[in-house]
Amino acid sequence: MSPVNSSVNNRRIKVALLAACGLLILVHAFQFWQTWAFRQTAMALRHELEQMAVKNAMLEGEVLKLRYGHVTHYDRLNALAASLYASLLRIETLSTPPLDVQALRHSLQDVIDQIDRFRRSNTVVHNSQRYLATLSEAAIKQTYPALHADLYALQRQFLYLEQLHPSEVQAGSPPPLWLESLRDASLSQPVLQPLLLHAQMLIREQTSLDRLTRTISANVMGTHLVGLERTLADEVRRHQQRTDTQVGFLTAGMVALLVMLFLLT
């Protein structure tokens, strides 16, 4: 091969090596940008999950207050539930690392539904207790002096129904003795029928409210949040391992091309 042809071939090889080096640099830059974008998304997701965990702890505290009768209005509960739902939507939007949030969504919706059922049932019970007093007074005024004591006892029992022995408010349990006595008396006293029916309805509602009070909880959502945080941490670790491997290959290729280019110089 003539010196001229050899020089031309060397130049072509150098150009090819330089082009390959440039391509590797572009790939390296793209890899760097992709890694940076992934880390930013992962940081945003981690922040949202941490915020949801804080809000969920606050919600659980409000639910405990609800269970023990220390909540008189539901504005804070509703605000926390709405804030949690907004955070969930942001997580779904950001979730470039594939996070399965369906279980979290279902548990959040379940807590919201429980709070709504508790609010409705609690309203019915309190309104029914007040109406029971009205029915009691109406029955007393309709010339039943012999039943005064029983009617007042009925009123007191329902005003403090939450203090009754659990066996008296469980579904399917026999009615209290005072209710049985009123049922017997009401067979010949039609005026007591509305009072008796209302009392039976109130027992059912109070039973439902007591059952819901024992079961309402936001703990399940906290468990799902912990699981999602672990999943995100595992995904970040796997992505870092893949990135390190790819960067290693790119760096090795770049070094090999530079060595070849140096040898041809």
| Structural domain for 187, as ranges | 3-264
- pLDDT for 166 equals 46
Alpha-carbon distances, residue 250 vs 38, 242, 247, 262 (angstroms)? 19, 12, 5, 18
| 84-141: pLDDT as tens digits | 888 888 888 887 656 777 888 888 888 888 888 888 877 777 777 777 777 766 666 6
- pLDDT for 96 equals 60
What tokens were used for 80?
Answer: 């926390």
pLDDT per residue rounded down to tens, the chain (265 residues) = 555 556 666 677 777 777 777 787 888 888 888 888 888 888 888 888 888 888 888 888 887 777 776 666 778 888 888 888 888 888 888 876 567 778 888 888 888 888 888 888 777 777 777 777 777 666 666 645 555 555 566 556 555 554 544 444 444 444 555 455 555 554 445 666 777 777 777 777 777 777 777 777 667 777 888 888 888 888 888 888 888 888 788 778 777 777 777 776 6
| 223-239: pLDDT as tens digits | 888 888 888 888 888 88
* Number of domains, the chain: 1
Q: If 0-12 CB within 10 Å is exposed, 13-18 middle and 19+ buried, where does residue 261 land?
A: middle
Q: Is the pTM of this model over 0.75?
A: no
The residue type found at 242 is: R
Residue 225 C-beta-side C-alpha neighbours within 13 Å: 24
Helix H or strand E segment including 238: helix 219-264
The residue assigned the tokens 């579904």 is 171
Q: Within 10 Å of residue 156's Cβ, how many Cβ atoms? A: 13
What tokens were used for 118?
Answer: 């508790």
- pLDDT for 180 equals 54
